[in-house]
Each structure stands twice: as C-alpha cells, then as structure tokens.
Amino acid sequence: MSSPRVHASPLFLSLLAAAMWGPAAQAADVTIRPAAGSGFAVKDASGTQIRFRVDEGGAIAAPGIGASPAVANRVCYGAAGVLGPCQASAVGATGATGPTGPTGPQGPAGATGAAGGAGPQGLQGPVGATGPAGAAGTTGTAGPAGATGAPGAAGSFAGSYMGAWSAATAYASGTLVSQGGSTYLQVSASDSINADPSVSPAVWALVAQAGAAGATGATGATGSAGVAGAAGAAGPAGAAGPAGATGPAGATGATGATGATGDLTGAVQFAPAVQQAATTSSALVNLKLVGAATLGSAGNTPLLSLSASGLYLDGQNHDKERVRVDNDGAILSVGDFSNGMGGAPAEGPGTRFLWYPQKASLRAGQIDGTQWDDANIGMYSTAFGYNARASGDYGFAVGQGTVASNGNSVAMGLYNVASGFASVALGMGAHTNARQGSFVFADRSFSTFCDGGVSCSPETYFRAGVNNSFNVRAAGGVNLYTNAAATTGLRMSYLSTGGSNFYGSFVWTDRSSDTAITPSGTNQAIFRSSGGFTIYTDAGLAAGVTVGAGGGSWSSVSDRNLKENFAAVDGEDVLRRLRAVPVTTWNYKTEGLAVRHMGPMAQDFSAAFRLGDSDTKIATIDPDGVALAGVQALDKRTVAQQQRIDALQKDLQAKEEALAAMAQRLQRLEKLLSQARP
C-alpha cells in the first residue's frame, strides 16, 4: 500500500530542506542509497508506523503532517535537485481565496462588568391640580358651661406694700406700690433711677390694673329743712374816725450796746442785708451750710431741697421732692412723665437750658424759631446747640441746624438730617432721606454747602439711596485701623499726585501681622486676609467664591444640595462641539502685547455650549466642566481601544503558542532524521 502524499507546511519544508539537503554535499554528509525502485522510510520505535518516507522519484510522504498545509511559504526543487525556498520567479500567482471555514464554537461568556454609576435624578414632575375644597360641616351646638371651680388657696407674699409710688423713694425688690389706680410689683434688684411704674415694665410688673370708673350714682333726695337758728349777736361797732395829723419826729436816741453773739451751729446763715440789695455786685442770695457731719454724700444734708405737695395730674395727692442741690455740688431735678400733658415750660426763640420732664426731654443752646416748641419736642429726645431739632421720639440732635425727625434717629454736625427711622446723619450736609436703618456721613468737600449759616439747597445734600445702607462721602480717603500703630486695617486712598498715597486705591489688612501694606500704584485693591477670603452673591450665603487660608485660587460654591435641574452630558457630543471652538493666544487690550493668554472667545464658547449668563464672559466653572466631560469621553475611548488591543494580543499569543508547538514537533522530527542517518 502506498503511503499518503501530502503538501508539507512551508516552514516545515524550509527547515527540512536546510537540514537535509543543503546546497552542496559535504564530506561528513550521510548518504542513503536504497535499492532501485525503492526509497527510504523512518518508522517509530516499534518499526510498524512510518513517520517519514522519500521514494525513488523524490516524492516525500509525512503521514504525521496534516492534509491542509499552510501556503505562506513555498519550497521548490532547485536545478541541482535540492528542496528549498523557491526563487521569486518561480512563485506562481496567488491562488483564489479558499472558502471560509466553519464558524468556531462560541466562547464562554465574559465576566459581568461592574455596575454603572447611578444615573442623574429625573426632573420633578409638575404639581398636580388642587382638588376641590370639601363642603364645610355644620356648626355643632354649644355645650353647656362648665361649673365654676372652687376658689384656689390664698397665695403667700413676702413683700411689703408701700402705698402710693413716689419718685423720691428708692424701692427694694418685692415692694408693692400704687400708681394711677393700678398696683405694681418691683421686680429689679433696686430702683436706682426711681422709674415711674406706669412706663417702666423692666422695673415694675403690673399686678392689678385699675378698673374703669363706675357710673355716677343717682342724686340723693333733698333733705328736710333744718331748725331755725338762734338770733345773731349784736352787730360790730361803727368805723373809727379819721386819724389825726402826724406829730413831728422825735430826736434820735443813742445807740445801744452790742448784744452777745448767739449760738448758730447747724443753722442757715443769711448774708448781711447789704449783700442782698438788688444793686450789689455780690451774690443776691448767699447761703452757707456749716455742719459737723461729713459732707459729700448724695442726698445727705443737701444745700437745697424744694418739694411740692398737693393734687397732681394723675388725680392723686403727692408730696414730692422736685429740686435738690447736694453739698457736693450735685443737682437733681425730678419730674413726672406724662406724654407731654401740661405743655412745654417755654416756647419760641431764645437761649436757654430746658428740662421737660413730662416728655423726659432735654434742650440746651439757642434757637431762632420754633425748634423747641412742644410740637417739635419728641418723647425722650435730646437737642443741644444752635437751631438743633429732635422732633422724633428718642431722637438726638447736636450741632448747628441738625434735625432728628424720626424715631431713634441721630443727627450730629452741620445741617445734617436724620429723617429715617433708626438712621444716623453725621458730618456736613448728610441726609438719610427717610431711609430707615441708614448711615450717612458727608465730608466738607462741597465747600459752599450751608457754610457760614447760609441756607441749604436740597440738591446739595449727600443722601442715602436705599434702606439699611452705609453711605460715606470722604474725598480725602477712608482709613479704618485695627492696631495702635495704625498699620493694619482698611485704607481707601484719596486723590494724590505722588508719594505712597496712591489715589483710588483700596487696602484691607488683617491683624495676622502689624506690617503695613501700601499700594504700589494708583487705583489698586489689595487684601490681606490670612484666615481666608469669601465673597457671597446672595442673601442666603448659598452662592459665591472662597480663597482658603493660605490658598492661591478661587473655590466656587459647588454643594450638590445647592443645585437643581440636573441633566446628563454626552461626552462625545461635548468633543464634537469642542472641535468647533477656536483656541488661540491673545492679550487684553488693557495689558498690552507683552502679556499673553490662551483660551477661547466667550462668543464662541457660548455658541457651542450655551452655558453661563453672558456671551461676553466665561465663568471658570464652565470650562472646567467641559474639560472633565471631554476627559471622560476620551477615557471611554481609551478603555474600548485597550480592550480591543488586549483581544488582539490574546489572539496573537495563541498563534505564537501554536507556532512554538509546531517548532517543537519539527525539532523532534529533525532529531529522528539525524538518528536515522547512517
């Protein structure tokens, strides 16, 4: 039986040709000469299986080689009959592509990939329509009134009742007094200010409110006529006749001897009559307190004490001390607050000191109009100076032409107006403009404003624009220092032509160092805030930027809880849009050609991504987001490409392993051939 003839693989044949049939026979070659009409064969160890055979015609049979040889490399017989690589000219045209082999079995399923990140939260659905209101139920009948409870046990009270309240008495905590028909309990540690119970809830607690006056009773019946009186006494004697003419004066008698000096210890000594004459240059009243007691204690042995006893405006009889001059020079004037009942002590122009207890208000200075008339005096207000008016309750006006016309307002200086509630006007020509809670300071840079008593024109006032604002006009600069050496704090420089006071500059320095910081040029803003710097852009402190302590870059507020309306981003779409955004180098016109920058134009960036609130500005957070989305998209590409590379490398490794196995088989074959040579 003839052996199967196969086409050996090109690699196998090439190696075999190089090993067995070199280009020329050498002296050490092994020569096999089979009998005519036969060849030679290589068998296995048992001698039964042919592994390799060459017949007389040169045909090669290798039963162990597969029937479908590789065709990448070809072997040919040369002119000398040697089997080896074919010459280029000997290679025939590439044959037609063979039919596609059957599809291999499906590989095992890959391991399950890691779970993807949670997708963005969906948008909140619209609020459903409000359902119709239910019909109102009928009102139930009123239940019977409950029985009146038994009277509670009588409480105990450790204080004492001191009768009607007096401003001249100091009351201890726990004291009960009556005032205006009501009863009050002293609740503070002491009543050092003799506060009126009816207007001092921090000192006195109302225990029993005065009841309303009862209706006037009916007029009683007219009594019966009395018994007739006894007859009157005899009438007086008639008038005396006219006096006779005065006789001539008698001669002056001799002066009597001087009497002994009386004991005046502790008594008030009046000055001699000659000192009390209206034409004298001495004091009209000259009194001296001489006593053995130690002087200098308030209320102890006063020089003067004036009191008033009788029926007061509250409908009660009181005996109250009104004026006292202590022996240490202290002066006390006590009055009753009554919301202005009784009117101001004096009105109209004049120069005076005025204490108005009915409104608890004080005035001192001079006015040329109605500034201190009752209608222009606020409760608990104060006004000092020239034409100063405090018509608002709790107002305070000091200076010239100042006005505190609203409650709790303050005006100090020259022609300042505090017309807003709880507002402050200082300097010259400051006007709070009826803006509550505002502060206005105006300097004298408007040199002709209200100067020298000239009346002010409304347009020259420096006014507050909105409520609760801080407004300052200081043409010479603003300096707020936080240390004694005046090296740290806040400076806003004034207009200057040289030196270190560069105009238009703003310098803020904290107390982390006492080293002063000065601007290096005009119109600069410099901050030293070693604990960090934060700028908020909304009232709720939910938006803004921060530079941390020791930091060198801005951190934007980016809390998830402060954001809404989330939408997923397609990274490939971001890359596609980004390709259309030109990125160039450029310089700001204000910096000059020497200072270069790199980046897109705001118009191009806005057209591509529609981010931010302007097409002429770029918020730094938006390019960061675009860059991150682009990086994620490129990373996704990289992962996919790496997976493909890994698959190709795995396939290449499998082919290399198959080739290595074939090489090992060839080595074994060569070894067998070598052993078979004689």
DSSP secondary structure string for all residues of 434-447: T-TT-EEEE-S-ST
Q: Lowest mean pLDDT: which of 123-137, 589-603, 618-632, 652-666?
A: 123-137
Determine the average pLDDT of the residues in 318-332.
88
Determine the average pLDDT of the residues in 539-556.
87
Of 498, 518, 523, the residue nearest 508 (C-alpha) = 518
pLDDT for residue 76: 52
Determine the average pLDDT of the residues in 530-555.
88
**Which pTM was predicted?**
0.42
Percent of the chain at pLDDT exceeding 70? 64
Rounded (10°) CA dihedral 163, 167, 173, 175: 0
* pLDDT higher than 70, residue 399: yes
Split at pLDDT 50, 70, 90, the class of 391 is: very high
Determine the average pLDDT of the residues in 490-506.
63
E strand or H helix at 607, and its extent? helix 602-609
The secondary structure of residue 591, as a DSSP letter, is T
Q: Lowest mean pLDDT: which of 65-69, 362-366, 482-486, 657-661?
A: 65-69
Q: Do strands 506-509 and 525-528 pair parallel, antiparallel, or not at all (unpaired)?
A: parallel
Cα separation of 402 and 396, whole Å? 9
Split at pLDDT 50, 70, 90, the class of 497 is: very low
**CA-based torsion, 415, 417, 422, 423: positive or negative:** negative
Q: How far is CA 491 from CA 101, 428, 484, 498, 525, in A?
A: 88, 22, 15, 17, 10
* pLDDT higher than 80, residue 300: no
For residue 162, the SS3 value is strand
* pLDDT higher than 90, residue 475: no
- Nearest 5°: the CA angle 644, 647, 649 is 110
- Phi first, then psi: give them for residue 369, nearest 5 degrees: -150, -140
Cα separation of 337 and 393, whole Å? 14
Kindly report, residue by residue over 106-139, the tens digit of the pLDDT.
766 666 766 666 666 666 666 666 667 666 666 6
Angle, helices 602-609/571-579, rounded to nearest 10 degrees: 140
pLDDT for residue 28: 46
* pLDDT higher than 80, residue 189: no
Kindly report, residue by residue over 46-93, the tens digit of the pLDDT.
777 777 777 776 766 666 544 434 433 444 555 554 445 555 544 455
For residue 318, the SS3 value is strand
pLDDT for residue 266: 46
Cα separation of 403 and 387, whole Å? 9
pLDDT for residue 193: 58
Q: Lowest mean pLDDT: which of 147-151, 398-402, 645-649?
A: 147-151
* pLDDT higher than 90, residue 156: no
For the ranges 196-210, 330-344, 544-558, 594-608, the maximum mean pLDDT occurs at: 594-608
pLDDT for residue 215: 65
* pLDDT higher than 80, residue 319: yes
- Phi first, then psi: give them for residue 441, nearest 5 degrees: -120, 130
Quote the strand ranges of 542-614, DSSP E.
Answer: 544-547, 555-556, 584-586, 597-599
Cα separation of 599 and 579, whole Å? 13
Q: Lowest mean pLDDT: which of 89-98, 132-141, 144-153, 370-379?
A: 89-98
Split at pLDDT 50, 70, 90, the class of 385 is: very high
State the chain's mean pLDDT as an integer. Answer: 77
Determine the average pLDDT of the residues in 328-354.
90
Comparison of pLDDT for 181 and 36, the residue scoring more? 181
Cα separation of 619 and 622, whole Å? 6
Q: How far is CA 31 from CA 10, 80, 123, 354, in A?
A: 25, 16, 90, 150
Split at pLDDT 50, 70, 90, the class of 528 is: confident
Q: Lowest mean pLDDT: which of 37-51, 216-230, 343-357, 429-443?
A: 216-230
Which residue is listed with tokens 């104060």?
382
* pLDDT higher than 70, residue 635: yes
E strand or H helix at 418, and its extent? strand 417-418
Indicate the residue type of 593: L
* pLDDT higher than 90, residue 510: no
Cα separation of 339 and 322, whole Å? 18
pLDDT for residue 569: 94
Cα separation of 118 and 678, whole Å? 77
Cα separation of 329 and 91, whole Å? 138
| Structure token digits, residue 371 | 């500034």
End-to-end CA distance of the chain: 26
pLDDT for residue 404: 97
Rounded (10°) CA dihedral 412, 414, 417, 418: -10
Kindly report, residue by residue over 416-450, the tens digit of the pLDDT.
999 999 999 999 889 999 999 999 999 887 765 55
Comparison of pLDDT for 9 and 246, the residue scoring more? 246
